[in-house]
Amino acid sequence: MAEVKEEKKVKKAKKLADPVAASYDVASQEMILRAHDLGVETIFDRAENMKPCNIGVQGTCCKNCGMGPCRLPLPKAGIEGEDERKGLCGATANTIAARNFIRMIAGGAAAHSDHGRGVAEVFLAAARKETDDYHIKDIDKLLAVAADLGVDTTVEEDGEILDRDIDEIAVETAEVALNEWGKPEGELLYVKKAPAARYELWKKLGVIPRNIDREIVEIMHRTHIGVDQNYKNLMKQGSRAAIADGWGGSMLATDLQDILFGTPYPVAAEANLGVMKEDMVNLIIHGHEPILSEMIVSVSETQEMIDYAKSKGANGIQLSGICCTANELLQRHGIPLCGNFLQQELAIITGACDAMVVDIQCIMQNIANVAKCFHTKVITTHPIARMEQDNVIHVEFSEHHAREDAEKIVRMAIDNFENRKAEVMIPKHKSLVVAGFGVESTAYELGGTFRKTFFTLNSNIINGRVRGVAGVVGCNNARCRHNEGHIQVVKELIKNDVLVLTTGCNAIACATEGLLTPESAKVYCGDGLAEVCETVGIPPVLHLGSCVDNSRILLAATEVVKAGGLGNDISEWPVAGSAPEWMSEKAISIGHYFVVSGVYTVFGVTFPTSGAPEFQKYLFEDFEKIYGGMWGFEADPVKHAQLMIAHIDKKRKELGIDKARERVLMDMADRQALEA
């Protein structure tokens, strides 16, 4: 008997991922294969051997008290009539799924907003001149943010209006901004940046955030055993916290980063694992905060460090990024993108990564195990994000000795160059990218220096050349083929004349496919969108930055409303959102702030409320009547894009501009009549 058991154990050897089935990206396939050759396990293999919990996937497992977990799977035949499922305390499937859903919003909003708070603290230190390493870089943006936060930018002296001292404005702006996280009364100041109609709707619904932290804390309170047991009331708080993220913590993070590090303008670079260089020190920066990585860019460009690298036998230093730190550095400095979330282990498997420096969010603990098989140094830098493995080095970064910390890290990477032990194998694949389309630069691209405007976009939506706009964002998910959903959804959209705004790991996926170049317009787009992109000289997929920069999409949507001709609110014009390969709680928070801002938002892979059909119907259908935006789900990428296009067409019809689209191939006289 014992022998039979032993034999079964042997037979149950771990499965290895099929590289082609695991990733759409050829560079990644090559590295997965290499991992197998070297006996290095990656997330792709683990996904083969560990399947997700069926009840957790449905969102109906509750472990909010010590009597659980209470598991309420959907009966196989579906729910007919009364739903008898209950947890020990009587919590229904709706209550459990809603509590779990808004706890995901809390997790995501906390991650974005705590990042934002860190930026605000560095901004305050810079404004007060408590650090020599950070300075105000974008004064125009500072003045704009000061005005939004109610900080005076002028002063009256002897009846004369004078410009106020910039340092004074900076300190007061930083103090007011930081106060947004925990002020005791009032409402979040940035919600007034939304279209007036949206603000009034939120006010009527009672979902205006009071401060950022309070909305997150209240979710944890309400979802404790025996508190809020009404899914509609739970979602009211979920909505308020999501607004506090999108129009609060994330938006402030983006704005303050722009003030400190510069507002993005179009910049060219390259993307994919092929950006690493065998003869150079490869320093990869991974995570989300530009505070440290900006300093690493500055230090690694000094002649002293380049000479030091040469003294160790390298030809220089090649910086590249993974996840959203990559997007931050790309949009401000043109630093190449090494890869997205599912490529972090693969970058080490090249054997050429001399150091991977990580800060917060989306860092897999397994990179430390992979690094043990190579010479790579994994360096954690943030006090809240450490790893237990003994090969991980911690260099605790602080804005008060930022340059010193960055120098230490860059030197570590250089010193490690000569320790490479495995044969280096860097995939050749890489693509050209044009990034850096913030709200300001997009207005400039569309209207020029003197007429910065979104109206060019509006008029092309009205005349039908551009069918609508989609925000496509979010992660990779090892439960689906890496990058395939991202790329297919975006290609289907642009083929149908939908302009795409992208951030996060979707942006990196699109970059590796060559979709972030103006030249891609004539290859992949419908005639109307191709014509507009070629005329303006922009890619059909505009890179707007990192996860917190999804707030730029909200502001771009607001600019379209302000430019006129497409209704009075975000919910009225032809726009849709998508996260084809989402996996993080941040994605749920982002999705929900898109929805309550009036955007129909479709997620792929799986949806975490499927075990509670009544609650899911509330999110997917009833929300549209309340907020003008609602959730949707579709795992198939082409059908996913078609759902978005159908919504865009519905909005065009409601606006009465559907006829223009039907006549897109009309003659010049017809066009002129339409434009008049």
Residues near ligand MSK (CB under 6 A) are 288, 323-324, 340-341, 361-362, 474-475, 504-505, 546-547, 584, 586-587
* Beta-bridge partners for 601: 577, 631
Nearest to 54 by CA among 486, 479, 604, 476: 479
Q: Give helix 250-261 / helix 139-148 axis angle, nearest 10°.
A: 150
Q: Please, which residue, 239 or 340, has the CB nearer to ligand MSK?
A: 340
62 contact choice in ligand SF4, ligand MSK, none (CB below 5 to 8 Å, kind-dependent):
ligand SF4
Q: Please, which residue, 56 or 69, has the CB nearer to ligand SF4?
A: 69
C-alpha 195/C-alpha 560 separation (Å) is: 10
Nearest to 408 by CA among 418, 420, 419, 393: 393
* Beta-bridge partners for 434: 268
C-alpha 240/C-alpha 89 separation (Å) is: 27
Residue 249 C-beta: closest distance to ligand MSK, Å: 14
225 contact choice in ligand MSK, ligand SF4, none (CB below 5 to 8 Å, kind-dependent):
ligand SF4
195 contact choice in ligand SF4, ligand MSK, none (CB below 5 to 8 Å, kind-dependent):
none
Residue pair 627/109 in contact by the 8 Å Cβ criterion: no
Q: Rounded to 5 degrees, what angle do the CA atoms 629, 504, 146 make?
A: 75
Q: Please, which residue, 208 or 378, has the CB nearer to ligand MSK?
A: 378
Q: Is 138 helix (H, G, I), strand (E, B) or coil?
A: coil
Q: Please, which residue, 589 or 616, has the CB nearer to ligand MSK?
A: 589
88 contact choice in ligand SF4, ligand MSK, none (CB below 5 to 8 Å, kind-dependent):
ligand SF4
Q: Please, which residue, 91 or 500, has the CB nearer to ligand MSK?
A: 500
Q: Please, which residue, 567 or 608, has the CB nearer to ligand SF4?
A: 608
Residue 590 C-beta: closest distance to ligand MSK, Å: 9
In order, the DSSP letters of 266-305 are -EEEEESGGG--TTSEEEEEESS-HHHHHHHHHHHTSHHH
Q: Please, which residue, 87 or 249, has the CB nearer to ligand SF4?
A: 87
**Count of C-beta atoms within a 10 Å radius of residue 639:** 13
505 contact choice in ligand MSK, ligand SF4, none (CB below 5 to 8 Å, kind-dependent):
ligand MSK
333 contact choice in ligand SF4, ligand MSK, none (CB below 5 to 8 Å, kind-dependent):
none
C-alpha 100/C-alpha 242 separation (Å) is: 14
281 contact choice in ligand MSK, ligand SF4, none (CB below 5 to 8 Å, kind-dependent):
none
586 contact choice in ligand MSK, ligand SF4, none (CB below 5 to 8 Å, kind-dependent):
ligand MSK
Token pair 């850096």 is at which residue?
436
Going across the sheet that includes 377-380, the strands are 392-394, 377-380, 353-358, 281-286, 317-322, 337-339, 267-271, 431-435
In order, the DSSP letters of 404-445 are HHHHHHHHHHHHHGGG--SPP------EEEEE---HHHHHHH
Q: Please, which residue, 42 or 64, has the CB nearer to ligand SF4?
A: 64
Pairing of strands 431-435, 267-271: antiparallel
Q: Please, which residue, 125 or 583, has the CB nearer to ligand MSK?
A: 583
64 contact choice in ligand SF4, ligand MSK, none (CB below 5 to 8 Å, kind-dependent):
ligand SF4
Interface contacts to ligand SF4, rule CB under 6 A:
62-65, 67-70, 87-89, 91, 96, 225
Nearest to 605 by CA among 584, 619, 623, 590: 584
Residue 362 C-beta: closest distance to ligand MSK, Å: 3
* DSSP category for residue 516: S
Q: Please, which residue, 68 or 262, has the CB nearer to ligand SF4?
A: 68
Spatial neighbors of 217 by CB under 8 A, at least 6 apart, are none
* DSSP category for residue 51: P
Residue 90 C-beta: closest distance to ligand SF4, Å: 7
Residue 323 C-beta: closest distance to ligand MSK, Å: 4
Residue 60 C-beta: closest distance to ligand MSK, Å: 24
91 contact choice in ligand MSK, ligand SF4, none (CB below 5 to 8 Å, kind-dependent):
ligand SF4
Residue 108 C-beta: closest distance to ligand MSK, Å: 8
Residue 85 C-beta: closest distance to ligand SF4, Å: 10
Q: Please, which residue, 417 or 582, has the CB nearer to ligand MSK?
A: 582
Residue 506 C-beta: closest distance to ligand MSK, Å: 7
Residue 546 C-beta: closest distance to ligand MSK, Å: 6
C-alpha 612/C-alpha 73 separation (Å) is: 9
241 contact choice in ligand MSK, ligand SF4, none (CB below 5 to 8 Å, kind-dependent):
none
Residue 508 C-beta: closest distance to ligand MSK, Å: 8
547 contact choice in ligand MSK, ligand SF4, none (CB below 5 to 8 Å, kind-dependent):
ligand MSK
Pairing of strands 377-380, 317-322: unpaired
**Count of C-beta atoms within a 10 Å radius of residue 541:** 31
Residue 587 C-beta: closest distance to ligand MSK, Å: 6
Q: Please, which residue, 417 or 615, has the CB nearer to ligand SF4?
A: 615
C-alpha 203/C-alpha 223 separation (Å) is: 24
